[in-house]
Amino acid sequence: MKVYELAKELGITPKELISFLRENGYKVSSHMQKLDDDAIDFTNNNFVKVNNTPTDNKAVTTSENESAKPQPVKIHKTFNPNDEIPCKSVTPWKLTAVGVDKNTVYHWEYFGDIEYIKYRDLQALRRTEYVTKPSFIIMDEDLVEQWKRELGDRYKYFKSIDYPEEYFDMDDDEFKDMIKSAPEWLGEIVKVTAMTMIRAENYPSIEKIKTIDDMLGTCIKEFI
């Protein structure tokens, strides 16, 4: 089992799991790294046991409180310059962005990591490839709605995708249809992810590799 797979089972980010394992003496460098049985057992017996109980209690309390409260009427949200907006990386490599003051640096280690960007800095990035490509996706629904002209339908490619390897869980025909209609930047994500999986000996299907080579002009099959 790989780091990102165990993290998904636990409902946490790979970054959180990597930090936990490192703090307990395990050498982990990537969300694609395979974990041995000892690391998996240690995590299940310690991380989950320590963290699940308060989370479950909180969920019950929140649910009870919410059921007793009237549902608020949705209004057009306004943002202040220092409001922090959660943004999730959809880039399969390290990503950084610099704030308008040139001193603030936002950093994502892996695809799926979340960084909180001040609204003023996000505004400065609004028409750059960070947002329009995108390199990360904005997780505030109100802001996504307000910026839908810039965002278009790009986010549909990341629906239900927590990690780029999940594109390779599609059946072969669905994968081919996605590649056929994919914008260039998504093709780059798929190509990089395929090579990363091969290096980690987590081989995509031959049919998917053939689709990538034929439709995106690569020679990935030569590395298998």
pLDDT at 68: 56
Query: Over the stretch 31-50, which tens digit does the pLDDT of each residue have?
Result: 778 899 999 989 888 885 44
> Residue 135 and residue 90: Cα distance in Å, rounded?
6
Closest CA to 198 of 67, 32, 43, 44: 32
Sign of CA dihedral 20, 25, 29, 96: positive
User: CA-CA distances (angstroms) from residue 37 to 2, 15, 128?
Assistant: 11, 20, 44
Both tokens of residue 123? 């505004």
Confidence of residue 23 (pLDDT cuts 50, 70, 90): confident
Sign of CA dihedral 132, 84, 139, 185: positive
Confidence of residue 53 (pLDDT cuts 50, 70, 90): very low
pLDDT > 50? residue 54: no
pLDDT at 34: 85
Q: What integer best gives the mean pLDDT of the chain?
A: 85
Give the number of other CB atoms < 10 A from CB of residue 124.
16
pLDDT at 214: 95
Query: Over the stretch 58-80, which tens digit does the pLDDT of each residue have?
Result: 444 445 555 555 554 555 689 99
Query: Over the stretch 83-138, which tens digit does the pLDDT of each residue have?
Result: 999 999 999 889 999 999 999 999 999 898 899 999 999 999 999 999 998 999 99
Query: Over the stretch 134-187, which tens digit does the pLDDT of each residue have?
Result: 999 999 999 999 999 889 898 999 988 888 989 998 999 999 999 998 899 999
pLDDT at 52: 45
> Would strands 84-89 and 95-98 be described as parallel, antiparallel, or unpaired?
unpaired
pLDDT at 200: 86
> Residue 161 and residue 133: Cα distance in Å, rounded?
17
pLDDT at 67: 54
pLDDT at 173: 93
Could you give the maximum distance between any two Cα atoms of the chain, in Å?
A: 61
Both tokens of residue 212? 């990538």
Sequence-ordered list of residues with C-beta below 8 angstroms from that of 161, at least 6 positions apart, any chain: 90, 167
pLDDT > 60? residue 220: yes
Predicted TM-score (pTM) above 0.75 = no
pLDDT at 178: 92
> Residue 51 and residue 17: Cα distance in Å, rounded?
12
